A = this chain, B = another copy of it.
Amino acid sequence: MEKKTVAVIGSGAVGSYYGARLAEAGHDVHFLMRRDYHAVSISGLNITSPDGDIRLSHPKIARSSNEIGPVDWVICALKATSLLEAKNLLAPCVTEHTRILVLMNGFGLEDRFAAWFEAAKIFGGLAFTCINRGRPGYVHHLGYGRVTIGHYLNDRNELANALSLWKETRVDVVTAPSLLKARWEKLCWNIPFSGLCVAAGGITTDKILADADLRNSARILMEEVVRAGNADLRSHGENVSIDGPTMIENMFKMTSTMGDYRPSTMIDFVEGRAMEIEAIFGEPLKRARTLKIDVPYLSLLTAILRSLNRERK
């Protein structure tokens, strides 16, 4: 394995977990830390996981990206609500050969990174996982964990390059031939389930499946997302499309295996934190409207979620 230097920008639960897996596999991983810097400098970074616990006694941690400097790979795992800080946080780590994996929730994020840096450098990562932060320095990986990676220009060689970084880690990584399609497919789950879990008062995904009204609302939201996604793919000249009925059936089937799952947006909601509403709902809605796709459920849901998110930080 070729050892790479990696900067994890945004060492929340997701950044810490996947960064620790890269370090475990032998890469030279630097974590940009805020809240947990002091605790980790004393007690290390501690991950509990069904795929094997990790304890990094002395991980390389930094309080600023300048301390890290140029790397081979940047893993950007900021919360989408901090998107505007991303450019300055990443810049010191990015040189000509650096690659950037945007391991964040939401839609249209890679467009920003491609504008700030260079399109060919940019990858999107879609983590399907359940990870929570514990006390400072502790992260709990509860289940799942697969990461789907797409390249901003859908370049196959670049995808192979990305795969090689993860090759000897314990992370199940797959590549997506179309990043845009992968993002829309993720929204097919995130919009109905994260959205309704919040709007219906902070409930778990099993409650949506068990309630005929909410289940039907979830289905209609998925249908809207599929229509918008396919229109978007067409508008980008991509020669792929989402098979709505199959996708929807799979999403319901998968969700039924998840039990009383708490989407991260719902956890943010019940714990009083800012939710990633614009990235997950607002941007796809804007795109659907631009494409003149009628998405009434998404429109109302987004209006409600924006209101619930007001004045949160």
Contacts and interface: CB of A to CB of B under 8 A. Distances in A.
B200 A308 contact: yes
7 nearest CB pairs, A to B: A200-B307, A213-B303, A296-B296, A217-B303, A201-B308, A199-B304, A297-B300
A306 interface: yes
A220 interface: yes
A293 to B, nearest CB: 14
A91 interface: no
A205 B94 CA distance: 49
A304 B220 contact: no
Give the copy number. Answer: 2
A251 B304 CA distance: 20
Interface residues on A, range: 20 to 34
Contacts of A200: 303-304, 307-308
A4 interface: no
Nearest to A211: B307
A179 interface: no
Interface string A21-51: 0000000000000000000000000000000
A308 B207 CA distance: 12
A301 interface: yes
Nearest to A269: B201
A205 to B, nearest CB: 13
